[in-house]
Amino acid sequence: MKAALFREPHAPLSIEEVQIDNPRSREVLVRTAAVGVCHSDLHYIDGLYATPAPTILGHEAAGIVEKVGSDVHYVKPGDHVISCLSVFCGHCHHCTTGRPFICENPETARAATAPPRLSQDGAPVHQFYNLSAFAEYMLVHEHALVKIRPDMPLDRAALIGCAVTTGFGAVTNTAQIEIGATIAVIGCGGIGLSAINGAAIAGAGRIIAIDLNDGKLQTARQFGATDTVNAAQADPVEAVREMTGGGVAYAFEAIGMKQTTEQAFRMLATGGMATVIGMVPEGQMVEIEAAELINDKVLRGSNMGSNRFRVDMPNYVEFYLDGKLHLDSMISRRVGLADINAAFAEMKRGEIARSVITFDI
C-alpha cells in the first residue's frame, strides 16, 4: 500500500510502498477513506515531539472495514468506522473507573515478539498511536474503532476522529460547562472551531473566539462564536477582561503554545477554569501567578476531550446529520496523499482550518 513516511524531523514526508500484515485475533483491517491533516502530526514533523522513525503519522481517520480477525465481533467487513487514538483495553484501572481516554495498557499493540503490523522490505515501520492513518489501509485493534451510520459522509466523519472529539469533548466532558456560561477559545483551527461549536450546542451564553486570522474569526462566528478578538490587533487578555467585566468562567487553549496557555489562565474570572487542549511542546514550562490560585482558578489539561468515543462519536454524527455540527465549513480543502506536504505547509502558515486527505474507495 502507499503511505506517507516520516523519516526525520524538519523533512518532508515521502510517499512510499509499505507492507501491511493480515489481522490477528482482535485486529481489524480498515480501508482508509479520509484522514484529517492535524496540527498534532505537525508537532512531530517539526521535531517538537519525538517518535521512532520510520513511522506513518496520521490519526484522524474514517474508513470501511476490509477484514477482521478471528475474535472480532464488534465490526464486520463493510462497516463504516471512525478511528480514535485513545485505544482502550476495557479492563485496566483507568478504563474501569470511567477514563478510557487515558488507558495505558500496551496489549492493544502487537507484542514485540510478534511480526510488525507495518513493514518495509522486511524492516518494521513504527505505528503512530496504534493507528498510522496517512496510508491506504490501517491495521488496528478493534478497540481503536467505533461503528457509524453508513449515510455519514466519511470525509466529514474523519474530523470526528480527533478535532471534534478533542475540542467538543474538552467543553462538555472535561470542563463540563454550564448552560449560560461565558467562555473564550484561543485558536480557531479544527479543534478550536469544534470547541466553539460544542459550546454553542451545550448552551454557552457568550463565546469569544480568539485568533490572528480574520478569516478564521469569521468562520468561528458560523460555528457559534458571539464575539471575536484578533490577537494581532489587541491584547487578548485585556480585550476579554474588558468585554466581560472581569474575565470568563471558562477558557480553552486550542493551539498548543506556552504563551497562549498562560493567556487562557490570565483571562479567567474568579473561580474560572482554563483547559489546555493543544499540545504544548515537550520540555516547555507554563508559568502562572501563584496568588491567582487563591481565587479558586484552575489550570487543567484535556486528553482527547476526555472521551468515551464509542458513546461520544455516534452522538457527534447525529449532531452533524441534524445540522448542528458544522463539519462542512471546517474542511478548507480536500487533497490526495501526494499533496500532504503542501497541506502541512498551509496549516503551518495559519491559512486554513483543516485539510482532509481523501482516498479512492
84 is catalytic: no
CA atoms lying within 13 Å on the CB side of residue 181: 27
Picking from 89, 39, 80, the residue whose alpha carbon sits closest to that of residue 60 is 39
Give yes or no: 80 in active site.
no
Alpha carbons 38 and 246: distance in angstroms, whole number = 34
Indicate which residue of 95, 162, 188, 332 is catalytic: 162
- The reply to whether 38 belongs to the active site is yes
User: Of the residues 43, 80, 141, 143, which is catalytic?
Assistant: 43
Q: Active-site residue 119, yes or no? A: no
Active-site residue list: 38, 40, 43, 59, 162
